[in-house]
Amino acid sequence: MSARTLAAIVWGCALFLPLALPMSSYAQAWLPPKGEGQITYTYQNLFVRYHLDYTGKKFDPGHIRTHTQIISLEYGLTHKLALDADIAYVASRFLGPYPPEPHGPPDTGSYHPTFQDLRIGIRYNVLHGPVVISPSVAVVVPTHHYETRGHSAVGRDLHELQMGVNVGRDLEDILPDTYVEGRFAFAIVERVAGLNLNRSNADWEVGHFATDRISLRFTGTWQKTYGGLDFPLDSNFPHFHDIHDRAVRSNFVRLGGGASFSLTRSVDLHADYTNTISGINTHSARGIALGISWRFSRRFNGGGFSTKTAVPKS
């Protein structure tokens, strides 16, 4: 197998997880009141021009364009317990040399859309005051056994158990109409060829309510995987061609920002942008996300509430 072919193979690691673009008007540390919830539709358009090897060096074996649609639900089961869930529908296309380097069935130059993974989780509020703390637990289950080989593969087809904690603070006493929120999670991931693919993820958000209808935010995400394959160091690993898309050791830092606009008392519009700042064994991806959220309540009487209530004042 030529060095060129090996190089093309490793870059088939096509967006194992959708980029984390915060779309909910609820900061994750804060829970919706009992009986109230939110349904969000998000469209993400992601582009990969460069890829990053195990040293973080950029490489250009071809480009990837991915369109992702996400439906998410958040609902307050009690005043301290909330349910959240989301499902993704992904269409990805490899824009490299045609015909592309032999790698996987999806690499035909066309889109092959399919559902990816279902995530279901709960958050429990243990502290509500100037600082809000809400631990969380979630499971990730593939919707079906989709193809995982290819530059344009939609995911890794792996089960996960995620455990984390969400922390937020209203900064009203320091900066009016401003909040800060962060999340740390550890994921126990299904092994591939005996490889440990467990990882840590963190994301953070600083938000400001410019008006009663408009909010702005600065966001960031970080990922560290504790095992897996490095390229080109592990290209001789048994069955490397078949498993590397699922078993790569991917680390990255991404930064971005966004805004939300309250169209009505129960409907919000969202827009976000993110870009990869650094990483190894991953894509240097950038993208936009556009979304719409509808807040509902079993007690809804037309009154609703404005965007500012997304971060309850203590």
pLDDT per residue as tens digits for the range 271-313: 999 999 999 998 899 999 999 999 999 764 444 333 334 444 3
pLDDT per residue as tens digits for the range 217-253: 999 999 999 999 997 778 888 887 778 778 999 999 9
Interatomic CA distance for residues 53 and 64, integer angstroms: 16
**DSSP three-state, residue 148:** coil
**pTM given for the model:** 0.85
Dihedral of CA 223/227/232/235: which sign?
negative
Right CATH for 3-310 from 3.40.50.300, 3.90.1150.10, 2.60.40.420, 2.40.160.40: 2.40.160.40
CB 131 within 8 Å of CB 167: yes
pLDDT per residue as tens digits for the range 69-126: 999 999 999 999 999 999 999 999 988 765 555 466 666 778 889 999 999 999 999 9
pLDDT score recorded for residue 89 = 97
Helical pair 240-247 and 3-10, crossing angle rounded to 10 deg: 30
Name the percent of the chain lying above pLDDT 90: 65
Q: Which two three-digit tokens encode residue 158?
A: 């792996």
| Phi, psi angles (nearest 5°) of residue 131 | -115, 130
Q: What pLDDT band is residue 1 in, cutting at 50, 70 and 90?
A: very low
Interatomic CA distance for residues 195 and 204, integer angstroms: 29
Q: Which two three-digit tokens encode residue 306?
A: 């404005």
Q: Which two three-digit tokens encode residue 277?
A: 């700042």
Mean pLDDT for all residues in the chain = 85
Residue spans per domain, the chain: 3-310
**N residues, the chain:** 314
pLDDT score recorded for residue 245 = 79
- Residue 176 pLDDT greater than 70, yes or no: yes
Q: If residue 55 lies in a helix (H) or strand (E), which one and from where to where?
A: none
